[in-house]
Structure formats: C-alpha cells, structure tokens
A and B are shown apart, each in its own frame.
Chain A
C-alpha cells in the first residue's frame, strides 16, 4: 500500500518536473504570438509527459523494489522468523537502511534466544533442592542464557555490594537486584563481553531473570521451612505413638497379672462356694476381673486414637455373627444392675469386619448406654438390609436422650454427653467408634427423633439410639 502511494507520488513528481518547464516555455511561446505555436507546445507537452512517465517508472521500481523486500523481511523478523542475510547493497541511504535492519535482525534473534534460554532455565529450577543448589544453578544459567562472561549471585543488602565502574574496551560490568515483591534478597552481578551492545532491553531481561531468581529463592526458603515442619510433625507423631505404645504396654502388663489372678481366684471361690460378707455368692474376684478388663479397654482406646491420627487402622475383615459378641461385650461390662435385652432379627447373617475393632465399638456403645441411660434397660436389636448387604445393630436406652444441639458434637473427639463433669469416661468412645465403623466399610449414626429407622420404638424420642452399620453376608452354602 505504501509502495503504491510512493510509486504514484514519485511518478507525479517526475512527470511534473518534465511537464512544468515545457508548459512554462509553451506559455511564453504562445504569448509571443508565434504562428503554429499551439501545435508545437501540445506536442512538446505530450512528449515531456511520456518521458516523465517512463523516467518516473524506472526510478520508482529502483527504489520501491528494495524497500518492499526490506519491508517483507522486517515482517518476518518481527514474527521471529529466521532470515537470510541480504545481498550486498550500494552504499546509499537504502544500503544503510538495510544494514541497520540487518543489525536489528541479529539483535532480535539474539534476544529471542536469550529469552528462550532464560525461560528454559527458570522453569527447570527446583526450589525443593534447596537455596544453595538453586544459587549455583542460577549463576550458571545467567551466564549461558544471557551470554555473559561470568555471573554470580551475592546475597545480602544490595547497597552494600560494590558496583564496578565500566572501563572502555574491557568487559562491561552488569548487575540486577534480586527483587521479589518489595523484598531485596541480593544482587546478580557479572560481565558482558566488551563487543556486546548492552541495551535497555538487555538490562530488562537481566532484571527479569534476577527477579525470577528471587522468587525461586523465596520458594526454596518456604519449601525448606515446610519440609522442616513436616519432619518435626512426623517425629512428634512417632514419639507420641511410641509413648502411647510404651504406656499401653506398661499398663497392660500389670493388668494382665491382675486379670490372671482374679480369674484364678474367681474359679477357686466358685468351686468352694465362697460367699461375700453379705452372705451372697462372692462376686468380688469377678468384679476385679471385669474392672481390669475395662481399664485395659480404655488403654486400647487411647492407642486406637493415636492410630486414627496417623491413619494406620488396618482392619482385618473376618466373618462373624454379631449377637454372641454383643452378649459377651455386655457380660464383660459387668453392669448386672441394668437389665439387658437382645433382639436378634439378623437371620444368621454374618458381619464382615475386624472383630477386635467391632468389639471396641460395641463396648463403647453399651458402656455409654449404661452410663447415660439413667439405669433404664439397655436394648439391642439386630436387623439386616439384604439388598444393601448390611447388618444394622442398634443400641437403645430409655434415658434422657441426646439434646438436639449435641447430636453432631457427640461424635467429635473428647465430647461427652449431658452433665459431663460428674461422669467418668474419656469422651473418645463415639469418636473412635465412628472412625472404626467407617474404616470397616460401615458407619455409626445416632438415630433422629423422627428417625425413619425400620425399628418401631427405636428413636431418640425415647432415650438415645445409636446404630452401627456393617457390611454383611447371608449364611448360605456356596
């Protein structure tokens, strides 16, 4: 477009240059009144116009052609394409224009290469490897990517770092601050070859590079701190686990001894028909056994909490009937003053779960029912949901029930129901129970006041009712 505009302008100029003098001369001729002058002037004008047109055309193609070639080349340079060197041009304005363009092309190509290398280098940095490794790598990358003779990174206050004077003919000292946000981490200093032109764009690239080093350094610092904190947490966790395991072992060993003697004593007392001071059969050794069992369960519960925290429950699923386990758990509780009912509607279905872990849940549920049921009967009902392949065990009491506001809180750690101050317990039972149930592919829920539980009468409206759901299978041969 510019080419055609230029073409028209030059052609008009040349034509004007040829036609105007002829026209002026013709006017003088006409004024002198020479006969036949009109014809002569007209012919001369036409000839001048034609000559002007021809000369203009020649001139135009000599100028516009190379200009167009240079323009097309510039387009390719701008687009980042590689261009062939120009053939030698005469030493005139056009030639110099081409030369400057050549230099520009080389500069752009060099800078493109530097940017590409810098980007490659920056994206390859691994702040996780630590600050020292990062600084070493970044100094090498700065040299290679930006074409410097040497480069190093000095950490600390940039004002305290001496900036070299430039000596003509010597390598040029260059520097950029390591700036991330407003934080100044240090300076990147180095030398560019004396032959290299150092332009604002080069300085900009160096500063961008230095800023990236600063960001990566900050990341490395953060990562190191996170890694350190993680390591400390893991160590603390392991310590806590070790402590709990140690405590557990130290408590369980004397408990084992108490239990063994109590069992033996209970056997002897039963065999000899011993009686308590009240005259009734002596249950005292049996109570010692029950209470040592109870203590040992509490210790185990603490150990389970620590495992929940570190996510290592590892349930080993076995096949078993729930009803006998419920009965045994109830007997182990030793709550003979509270009446107990077990309705087994499970039709022989077997639970698939870790029996030790299920025992812990049963114990917690029954213990809670006794503790919070206010002496009312504890009722347990077993049912199956055949389509879902689930067995459901509900433990209900007729006590005051669970206040609406306490419903979800109950399953959190250290939560205790009602007036917790004057009751014993760790506040861990339901928390551990739900976690164990879920780890075994089931759940532990509190039945609601309007619960659509399939068991009539088993709702929170009349006391508390908790349901343990576990995977189960039908007792069929196959």
Chain B
C-alpha cells in the first residue's frame, strides 16, 4: 500500500481529517499540513466531522478532545464503531491523566497541546506507515500459553493478562501482521517510533528483550519472539 505524507512523494497524498473547535488553530495547522503535502479536510466539531466522513473516508483523523456538541472521545468511538480509521488525538490532557486511558481504546496516538508541529507531523507519518499492516482478527492466538489482544494493548500469558505499552503493541502489531516471517529491525524501528524520537536499532533490541521477558515463559529460550541475528525479528505461532 503506497500512501504517505507528501514529503516522501508517494502515489497520492494522504488524506487527513482535522477536527478542532479552535478555528484559528484549525487554519494554522491545516495550512502547515498542506504545506507538507497532505490533503487536509477540516471540521469544527464532531457533528460536522461525521457529515464530512459520509462523503468519503480519510486515511487518518486528527481530533481535538474537548469540543462542543460531540466531544472528541465520543466522535472517536463513533468513528471506530464504523471503520478502523486510525486516529490521533490532540489534547490538553497529558498521558498521565486518567482520561488518557480512555484514549487508549480509540486512539493510535496522541499529541498534547501545545503541540510542536514537527512532532505532530512525525506521529502522523508513523501512523500512516502502519496502514499496510492488517491483522487477521482482533485476537491473535500464538499458542497455548500466549495470545495477543493488541486492540486492547494487552496479551494473555499463561492465563494472566499482561499490559503492553503503546510502543510494544505497535511492534507486536507489525510482527503479527507478518506472522512467521522475519521483519527487519529497520521496519520495526519505523513502526514503533516517530522520526522525532531519536530511535536507532538499539531501541528495537532493548524493547524486544523486554517484550520477551513479558511474553515468553522462558525468555532465555524464546518460542514466539525469535531473533534473526543481524536482520530482525520473527513472531512465531506454536505448531498446533
């Protein structure tokens, strides 16, 4: 699938729907995104956003949390109920807030206000990169002792629920979409981190090692998260 931000020069510019009740911000941000080659549609509130969605689905929606009429969270839920459209939430609430946990269920990512434009753009690009990955179902069963529920950012290990961080679930998403095949460290890097996050291959190595201690019954003899030395990693299901 070849969609992405304008700067990368893909087949067609990625379509973004930008929803914010702050009209000044809406104009500035839309302008900045258009300058970077995205195809941007705007809406001032949730109701207007839903109307826009009826005339065509974008590749990604950027939604402000606090809006009149239909608030950001409700809008995001409404959208997710209809289709798996990736959503980035703009919010004055930061990740430590209890409401941020609610965002987890609907948002691919979120950027706190006041946002730094390059940061927002980097996150948009990362989410768009992942659009090619498609999982077969909501729950990925990898064996008797391990299954992944990535839509809920959790895994079940020997019957116990284990919470995954956003990055861990993004890495697993990329691996699970290519089950049994080696995914390069470079690809995992692009899927897991935005390019503003200073990430290099060591980020992947350490993250995979930590994931292994979370998910494998014996992390020293992994059955599911296999290292392909010098190349990347492979997620394997246990033969049934």
Contact = CB atoms under 8 A, between A and B. Distances in A.
Interface of A: 245, 248-249, 252-253, 255-261, 263-264, 292-293, 296, 300, 303-304, 307, 312-321, 324-325, 348, 350, 352, 354, 356-357, 473-478
A357 B167 contact: no
Given A249-B66, A256-B25, A318-B167, A325 B209 contact: no
Given A261-B28, A477-B229, A356 B203 contact: no
Contacts of B29: 260
Given A245-B93, A257-B25, A259-B114, A312 B98 contact: yes
Contacts of B96: 304, 307, 312-315, 354, 356-357
Nearest to A312: B98
A264 B28 contact: yes
A8 to B, nearest CB: 82
A54 B201 CA distance: 116
B32 A264 contact: yes
B98 A252 contact: no
Contacts of B229: 477
Interface residues of B, number: 41
Given A263-B117, A307-B96, A320 B197 contact: yes
Given A257-B24, A312-B96, A476 B205 contact: yes
Nearest to A356: B95
B210 A316 contact: no
Contacts of B227: 477-478
B143 interface: no
A316 B166 contact: yes
B92 A248 contact: yes
Nearest to B113: A256
Interface in B100-123: 101, 112-117
B165 interface: yes
Given A256-B22, A259-B116, A320-B197, 4 more contacts: A253-B22, A300-B94, A314-B96, A319-B206
Nearest to B97: A245
B187 to A, nearest CB: 15
A146 to B, nearest CB: 53
B114 A258 contact: yes
B28 A316 contact: no
Nearest to A318: B167
A352 B210 contact: yes
